[in-house]
Amino acid sequence: MSKPYISINSVTYSSSVLTVNYNFGRLRGLVTGGSPISVYGFSNSISFTNTSTYGNNVTATFSVNALGTASGANYSDPTAITWTFGGTPSSTTTNARLTLGSTQLSSYTSSTTVLATFLSGLATSLTGIKGVAATATSTTLVVSVPNTGNLYNGTQLFLNLTQGASSIVATANSGVTNSGTYSGGSTTYNVYLQSSAVNGAIIPKSTTSFTASVLL
């Protein structure tokens, strides 16, 4: 007698709709009143009931506002934002305030007229806040959001620079003076289906993966 099986073909996500395509056989869903199937691999599992015994290229859709993060996911970082600075800071009145989206990360006031020293202090004030990593050279500040995958794609990092009695200026790698936008991050989710439709026995899980570059 053939064993029950379930196999996942593909997973897609668009406009808050998760679509799962799968095959299955001998789940005895009509006999037991429905085969419970769960989708794992996101911050929360998704469960539904399959009411047939056999099926190929069956599509299940779910309205999901956010798939979130998961311990089994793999993250590719978005491109870091680089500001290039010029001029000389004031030792008392130059202030740099950086805001990620709507969250202020740091407000740093200069205590030096040396640009490299000012940027080093600014980088230190940012590092570790909301997972941000910041590095500085003599004329640049590089701000990255590592291990976040698609989380910050499309999110702006704002620089509010108060010159005070100084000539300091800054331009982001986008060419904009007061903001840069994160892009290029992606999250690869390792997704699997599992069912316990036959006499309570767990049917071997079927696994696939898909990559999302939009905020999930």
Q: What six digits make up the tokens of 50?
A: 């399959």
Phi/psi of residue 122, nearest 5 degrees: -65, -45
Considering the domain 5-73+188-212 in this protein, what is its CATH number?
2.60.40
Q: What is the pLDDT along the chain (216 residues), one digit of tens a residue?
A: 467 778 888 888 887 898 999 888 877 654 556 778 888 888 888 888 887 878 899 999 999 887 777 777 888 889 999 999 999 999 888 999 999 999 999 999 999 999 999 999 999 999 888 889 999 999 999 999 988 888 888 899 999 988 887 888 888 886 777 899 999 888 888 888 887 655 555 555 566 666 655 433
Q: Which of 168, 184, 183 is closest to 84 using CA atoms? A: 168
**CA gap 177, 212 in Å, rounded:** 30
**CA gap 55, 20 in Å, rounded:** 13
Phi/psi of residue 71, nearest 5 degrees: -65, -25
